[in-house]
Structure formats: structure tokens, C-alpha cells
């Protein structure tokens, strides 16, 4: 049975679009405690013996099922590191929704470092959605340092959507992926920073098998005095194709460092990178103002669209 | 009704003042379909941008339905009922056709309402409604979407800055059809089009010939067109 208070429910809504207990498998973690769990015939969730996290086992051939593993922190001063390992069976097709919401009204820092490892079996398909959100007006920082490791077998595919739009003071995200032949990885990252927030996002994608493909696309907005670093490297070790793109809007006194990089160790590796940083174009604002929007409303629409 | 009184616009170029529009006086009555034409650099687009408030005049005033709008910004003018179609439509990453139409209409649009505006401009809503207004759309497609946003606004004054620029022949046939329909349904609103195209000039109630920052001629197509064609300047061998 899931027991959550009002703040925790609000955080869950923000990070997982959940208004009630989801169908299928789930594991709710609130203030470092298990708050609810459900398993299905095909998806098992077990706590690690040393208490450091959970293992999620998805049976081969599992189709159209989902796993939700939201984490919420509503007490000030919690610092935790959690290991979640996903074993996705061959030929399965699943959606995994993770995310962390921190509400910190206190003066101590709250920090959740989630280490997610995905072992994606042959020809399996995974859609992974991860949202991070922070709220609360305390002096304590809201800190999230996720690490994601993806190991993809032949012919598997994984789509990752990662979003952090509001309220996280400091984040240092690291994503590493190893792809075998014909494996396909698509990453869509959305990031917005405000105030004095800092965000670092690094990717290392290794394309190790023939026909492996990766597309890592980040869109970000840096407002106020916030600072962002995007550092994405794709390495081609076989006949493969990779593309990385970081596209950023800079506002106010924001700071953005974009370092897309490519490394080829095979003559048939086709790798492309793109990076762009710029303010909102004046003609975009003017166009929306000719539709009756104020400059501020126009700016909001442009940013909302950009981060969609 | 739009009234322009003693409107001048100048820019600084290499330390010298360059006059783009000089002491312009003009009124466009409700129910009129007016085409402003003239050679390149005659100040046509500047005039259109001054009407929308994108540029501010050096002197003179602009009145709309009896109200002095000279000091109003773009948003305020838009809300009073002026709309503007860009010569080169703006692209947006992430904003979809349906989002722009919804913003233009100022309310939530049903798919069938959006479909109505898109089919007016010859686009199938099913194919376009979820498309992003980014570089995946061709110049002609963007232009048609731009016009659809004006249709969705239903304003009292619509200003089109060279709607024919950058569109293919097929789109052009459609464009003429759209303007003919707008002219039929004009009622008490008015339409101002900046254009060089003979076929657009031909359907105007009135043509204004702008040259060197001033209005040189004003009249019906029958009165103005013969003089314009005679002044085309194309050499005999090319005619």
C-alpha cells in the first residue's frame, strides 16, 4: 500500500504525471523508505540485500508493460545514494518511468544520487522517462546527481527522455552507454536552470558493434545567473553512426559551456555533432507579439516550445 | 479605418540621415482591399512595419478607428485588431502549427477549426497540425501557415508584406484564390497588401504607388495599371 502525504503526492505528480497508484509494477520511495511496491507476473522488483537499492527484473518477451520507480524527498537534510539495476529481458518492450522530486523547506541540504544501470537484452525495446523537480523555500540546497549506465545487446533499442525544468539547485549528471551491433540509443534531454543553479551533464556513448546508432540531443535554457555545462562524447569503434546536438537559449546573466565531441576508431564510423547557443531571436518575439501576446508571454511560449 | 498623417521615417546610414518615408498622408477605409506597390527600396515594407508598430516613425502619427496608436506597442496594436503577415515567416523550434494557430485565435482551437484555416491555404490539417514550425518546412509551406494565422485572428486590419515572395507557382495560384475570397468576405474590415504581383494588383479596390518614400499615384487598377506596365523598364527584346 502506498502512503504519501500531500507534498509527496504533489512531487509525484510533477515527476511522473501520476495522480494515483499506477497500473503495473512500481516502487515508491519516500524519505529513504519504501512507501509502496507492486510486482507483476513479468516484472519483479527486489530490494538489494545490503539495502542500497533495488533490482528490477523484466522477463524476456514482456510486452507493453510499465515500471514506475519515483523517489520523493520531503524532509530537509536527507542525503542518499541509491542503486537501481534494471535487467530487461530479450525481445521485451517496456516503459520505465523514474524521477526524483525534492521539497526542501529546511536549512539543510537534501541530496539524492540515483545510480541506474540498464542491462538491455537482445532486440528489447525500452522507453525511459526521467524527470527531476525541486520545490520548497528553505535555505537548504536541492541536489541531484544521477548516474545512468546503459549496456545494450544486439538489436536492442532505448529511448531516454530526461527532463529537469525547475527547482534543482545543483545537478551533476553522468550518462554512459555501451552499444553492441544494431543497437539504437536515442537521448532527449531538456534542462532549464534559474537563479544561481548549476547543472552539468556529461555523456559518453560507445558504439562498439556494426550498425549501432546513437542520437543524443540536448535542449537547454539558462536564465538569471545560472550556469550549465554540456559535455557529450560519442565514440565510434565499429561501422556505426552517431549524432549529438546541443542547442541552448541563454538569458539574463546565464553561462553555458557546450562541448560536443566525437571520437572515431573505425574508418566506417559516421559521426556528427552540432552545437548552438543564442538568445531568443527578436523576430520570434515580434511575431508572437503581432498575435497579441506581451513580450513576456511570447518569451514563455518560445521557451515552452523549445523545451518540449 | 486606418489613417496615416504626415508620417516620416528616416535611418542613419554612414553618419548621414537617409529618408525612407517622407511626409506620408494616407487613409484606408473599412471594407477596402488596398495594394501598395512600388519599386524596391521605395519604403513599402517599412510602411507596413510602421503600421504594425515594429518600427517607430521619426515624425507623424498613425490612427486606427479614430484612435491615435502612434505610441502603442506591437501587442497593443495587435489587441486593437491589427494583424501582420511577415515577408519572411519566422521559424520556431518546438512550436507546432496547432500551437501557433491557437495563439493566433487567442483560444483553444478544435482540430476541425484548425483544419478550416489550414485548408483555406491549401494545407491538409492532418499532415501539418503537429508539425513544428522549423526548418523542416519549405518557404511556401511557411508562407501558407503565416497566412492561416492571420485568418485565425479575424482582425479589422490585415497587413501582408509581400505574400508572394518565395512561394512556388502552385502556391501562388492558391494565394490569389485566398485573397479573392478575403476580398469577397471583407465586410467592415480592411486588407493592405504590399505586392509587386500584377494578379494581386488586379483584384485591389485601390492601388497606391509608392516611390522614393512618397505616394506618387493612387487609384483603381484600371487607372493605375496601364501606367505601371508602361514603366516596367524591361527592354524591347525581353518583352
Contacts of B94 in chain A (CB under 8 A): 219, 304-308
> Which tens digits make up the pLDDT trace of B25-81?
999 999 999 999 998 888 999 999 999 999 999 999 999 999 999 999 999 999 999
Q: What is the pLDDT of residues A100-159, one digit of tens each?
A: 888 888 888 888 888 999 999 999 999 999 988 888 877 788 888 999 999 999 999 999
Closest-approach residue (CA) in chain B for A306: B94
Distance from the Cα of A280 to chain B's closest Cα (Å) equals: 10
| pTM for this model (two decimals) | 0.86
Closest C-alpha to B159, from B50, B23, B25: B50
**Rounded distance, CA A229 to CA A201, Å?**
6
Which DSSP string corresponds to B157-222?
A: EEEEE-TTTT--HHHHHHHHHHHHHHHHT-TT-EEEEE---HHHHHT-SEEEEEETTEEEEEE-HH
pLDDT tens digits, one per residue of B68-80 = 999 999 999 999 9
pLDDT score at B233: 46
Question: What CATH number is associated with residue B29?
Answer: 3.40.50.300
Residues of A in contact with B149 (CB under 8 A): 291
Quick check: B75 and A289 CB within 8 A? Answer: yes
Task: For residue B171, list its beta bridge partners.
Answer: none
CA torsion angle A37 A40 A42 A44 (round to 10): 20
Residue B231 belongs to a domain: no
Choose among A98, A99, A8, A115: nearest CA to A52.
Answer: A115
Calpha distance A192→A38 (Å, rounded): 33
Q: Does a structural domain hold residue B131?
A: yes
CA dist A36 and A55 (Å) reads 15
* C-alpha of A35 from chain center: 22
pLDDT at A205: 98
Query: Chain A contact for B84, CB < 8 A?
Result: yes
Quote the ipTM score: 0.92
| Residue-level pLDDT at B120 | 86
Q: C-alpha grid cell for residue B115? A: 483544419
pLDDT confidence of residue A1: 52
Cα–chain center distance at A243:
18
Are the beta carbons of B84 and A289 separated by less than 8 Å? no
- Can you give the length of chain A in residues? 308
Chain A CB contacts of B104 below 8 Å:
291
The predicted model gives B112-130 an average pLDDT of 88
Yes or no: say if B125 and B118 are a contact pair by the CB < 8 Å rule: yes
**Cα A75 from Cα B228, distance rounded (Å):** 78
- Cα separation, A1 vs B175, in Å, equals 62
Which of the four pLDDT bands, split at 50, 70 and 90, describes residue B234?
very low
B65 falls within a domain: yes
3-class SS string, B70-89: CCCCHHHHHHHCEEEECCCC
Sites in chain A below the pLDDT cut of 50: none
**Pairing relationship of beta strands A142-144 and A157-166 according to DSSP bridges:** unpaired
In a domain, B56, yes or no: yes
**B69, B71, B72, B74 alpha-carbon torsion, rounded to 10°:** 110
Any domain includes B234: no
Looking at the structure of chain B, the number of domains it has is 1
Q: Is the model's pLDDT at B13 over the cut of 50?
A: yes
- Strands ordered across the beta sheet of B67-68: B16-28, B2-13, B59-64, B67-68
Tell me the per-residue pLDDT of B144-161, one tens digit each, with 9 for 90 and over. Answer: 899 999 999 989 999 999
CB contact under 8 A, A301 and B73: no
Domain assignments of chain A as residue spans, ordered by start: 1-168, 173-308
Please check whether residue A86 is in contact with residue A149, taking contact to mean a CB–CB distance below 8 angstroms: no
Q: How far is CA A194 from the centre of its chain?
A: 18
Kindly list the distances between the CA atom of residue B94 and the CA atoms of A31, A46, B133, in Å, as whole numbers in the listed order.
36, 40, 7
Straight-line distance from the first to the last Cα atom of chain B, in angstroms, rounded to the nearest whole number: 40
Angle between helices B111-120 and B97-105 (to 10 degrees): 100
Residue B73 touches partner A, C-beta closer than 8 Å:
yes
The domain in which residue B18 lies consists of: 2-222
Any chain A CB within 8 A of the CB of B182? Answer: no
**Band of the pLDDT at B237, cuts 50, 70, 90?**
low
Report whether pLDDT(B231) > 60.
no
Cα separation, A70 vs A55, whole angstroms: 14
Cα–Cα distance for residue pair A83/A115, rounded to 1 Å: 5
Chain A residue numbers with beta carbons less than 8 Å from the beta carbon of B105 are none
Per the CB < 8 Å rule, is A283 touching B90? yes
Q: What is the pLDDT of residue A133?
A: 86
- Furthest C-alpha separation in chain B: 56
Amino acid at each position: 500500500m502506498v502512503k504519501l502525504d500531500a507534498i509527496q503526492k504533489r512531487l509525484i505528480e510533477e515527476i511522473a504525471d501520476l495522480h494515483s497508484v499506477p497500473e503495473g509494477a512500481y516502487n515508491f520511495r519516500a524519505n529513504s523508505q519504501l512507501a509502496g511496491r507492486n510486482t507483476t507476473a513479468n516484472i519483479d522488483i527486489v530490494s538489494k540485500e545490503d539495502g542500497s537499492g533495488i533490482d528490477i527484473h523484466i522477463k524476456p518477451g514482456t510486452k507493453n508493460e510499465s515500471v514506475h520507480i519515483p523517489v520523493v524527498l520531503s524532509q530537509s537534510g536527507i542525503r542518499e545514494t541509491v542503486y537501481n539495476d534494471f535487467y530487461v529481458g530479450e525481445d521485451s518492450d517496456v516503459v520505465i518511468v523514474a524521477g526524483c522530486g525534492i521539497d526542501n523547506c529546511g536549512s539543510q541540504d537534501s541530496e539524492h544520487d540515483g545510480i541506474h544501470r540498464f542491462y538491455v537484452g537482445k532486440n528489447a525495446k525500452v522507453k525511459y522517462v526521467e524527470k527531476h523537480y525541486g520545490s520548497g523555500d528553505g535555505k537548504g540546497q536541492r541536489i541531484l546527481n544521477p548516474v545512468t549506465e546503459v549496456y545494450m545487446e544486439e538489436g536492442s533499442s532505448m529511448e531516454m527522455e530526461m527532463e529537469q525544468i525547475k527547482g534543482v539547485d545543483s545537478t551533476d549528471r553522468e550518462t554512459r552507454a555501451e552499444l553492441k551491433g544494431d543497437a539504437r540509443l536515442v537521448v532527449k534531454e531538456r534542462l532549464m536552470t534559474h537563479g544561481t543553479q548549476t547543472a552539468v551533464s556529461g555523456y559518453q556513448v560507445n558504439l562498439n558493434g556494426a550498425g549501432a546508432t546513437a542520437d543524443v540531443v540536448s535542449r537547454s535554457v539558462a536564465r538569471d545567473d545560472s550556469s550549465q555545462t554540456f559535455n557529450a562524447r560519442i565514440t565510434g569503434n565499429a561501422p556505426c553512426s552517431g549524432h549529438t546536438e546541443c542547442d541552448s537559449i541563454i538569458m539574463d546573466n546565464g553561462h553555458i559551456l557546450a562541448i560536443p565531441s566525437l571520437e572515431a576508431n573505425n574508418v566506417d564510423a559516421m559521426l556528427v555533432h552540432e552545437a548552438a547557443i543564442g538568445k531568443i531571436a527578436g523576430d520570434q518575439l515580434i511575431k508572437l507579439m503581432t498575435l497579441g501576446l506581451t513580450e513576456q508571454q511570447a518569451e514563455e511560449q518560445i521557451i515552452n516550445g523549445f523545451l518540449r | 479605418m486606418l489613417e496615416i498623417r504626415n508620417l516620416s521615417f528616416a535611418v542613419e546610414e554612414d553618419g548621414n540621415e537617409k529618408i525612407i518615408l517622407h511626409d506620408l498622408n494616407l487613409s484606408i477605409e473599412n471594407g477596402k482591399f488596398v495594394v501598395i506597390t512600388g519599386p524596391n527600396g521605395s519604403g513599402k515594407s517599412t510602411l507596413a512595419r510602421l503600421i504594425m508598430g515594429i518600427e517607430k516613425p521619426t515624425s507623424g502619427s498613425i490612427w486606427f478607428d479614430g484612435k491615435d496608436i502612434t505610441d502603442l506597442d506591437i501587442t497593443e496594436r495587435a489587441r486593437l485588431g491589427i494583424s501582420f503577415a511577415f515577408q519572411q515567416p519566422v521559424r520556431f523550434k518546438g512550436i507546432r502549427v496547432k500551437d501557433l494557430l491557437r495563439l493566433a485565435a487567442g483560444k483553444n482551437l478544435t482540430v476541425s477549426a484548425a483544419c478550416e484555416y489550414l485548408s483555406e491555404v491549401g494545407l491538409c490539417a492532418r499532415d501539418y497540425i503537429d508539425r513544428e514550425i522549423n526548418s523542416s518546412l519549405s518557404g511556401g509551406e511557411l508562407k501558407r501557415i503565416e497566412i492561416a494565422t492571420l485568418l485565425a485572428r479575424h482582425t479589422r486590419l490585415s497587413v501582408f508584406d509581400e505574400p508572394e515572395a518565395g512561394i512556388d507557382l502552385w502556391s501562388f495560384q492558391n494565394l490569389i484564390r485566398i485573397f479573392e475570397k478575403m476580398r469577397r468576405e471583407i465586410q467592415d474590415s480592411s486588407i493592405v497588401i504590399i505586392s509587386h504581383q500584377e494578379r494581386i494588383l488586379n483584384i485591389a479596390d485601390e492601388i497606391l504607388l509608392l516611390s522614393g518614400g512618397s505616394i506618387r499615384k493612387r487609384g483603381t487598377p484600371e487607372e493605375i495599371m496601364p501606367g505601371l506596365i508602361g514603366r516596367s523598364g524591361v527592354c524591347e527584346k525581353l518583352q
